[in-house]
Amino acid sequence: MSSRQRVAGLAGLLAILALAPVDAGNVIYRCTAADGTVTLQNAEACPAGQRQQVIEVDVAPPLPAFVPAQPPPGLRVLPVTAVVPPADTTTPPDPIATAEPEPPPPLYQCTRWDNERYLTEDAVPATRCRPLNTTGIGGLSTMGAGQACEQVEDRCAVVPEDNLCRAWKSRVDEAEFRFKVTPAQSPAARARQEEYAALAATYAASTCVRG
């Protein structure tokens, strides 16, 4: 057989192999276009007019199915049961509800220099500035008159015990009113809210409410 015949036979064999069916999942097609562009694909063969090279990819065989080891004959295997402790359904005691109520703290009924009255928990009377009349030019208080005041203490007396709960209720109501009428954007709003909350909690835990 001549060399030309052997080359022709080899070319025919390659053509037959190229047309033989292969597993698409294990094959990569290397396609070369007329301009030399090379693309790789595994979904389908190269388009007509392109040189195709078939590359088979070896896929590892699947692992054997797992089979658990069998216990020796005569050995009894007991099932494993998870032990779950019972849920704690008890309700923790309320410290406020269980604590013995006590009488409310003392309150003081105070009167300012202008006869305005108020309740307070502070035993020390507040000091305020009472304006004094001044005389200006020509004896008139409106012409060049200065401003002067006199420091005076409020007059305070402790609220009697038999009236203490009623006074505390009035004190809480007054603090609530002051808090609610204060605009939310006011700098004093937060302080008045905290004052009302503290007074209300003290009153609610006392013998005035729980006695």
More confident residue, 167 or 59: 167
Spatial separation of the C-alpha atoms in residues 52 and 46, rounded to whole Å: 6
Q: Is 1 within 8 Å of 8 (Cβ atoms)?
A: no
Average pLDDT of the residues in 169-185: 91
Q: Is residue 135 included in any domain, yes or no? A: yes
pLDDT band for position 17 (50/70/90)?
Answer: very low
pLDDT band for position 192 (50/70/90)?
Answer: very high
Q: Which residue do the tokens 């052997």 mark?
A: 6
First to last CA, the chain: 125
Residues 164 and 203 in one domain: yes
CA dist list (Å): 209 to 30, 107, 174:
91, 17, 18
Residues 190 and 149 in one domain: no
Spatial separation of the C-alpha atoms in residues 206 and 211, rounded to whole Å: 7
- Reference 154, options 178, 125, 179, 191; nearest CA is 125
Residues 138 and 120 in one domain: yes
pLDDT band for position 208 (50/70/90)?
Answer: very high
Nearest 5°: CA angle at 95, between 90 and 97?
90
Structural domain boundaries, residue 170: 160-211
What pTM was computed for the model?
A: 0.49
- Reference 18, options 58, 52, 48; nearest CA is 52
Q: Is residue 81 included in any domain, yes or no? A: no
Structural domain count, the chain: 3
Spatial separation of the C-alpha atoms in residues 105 and 168, rounded to whole Å: 9
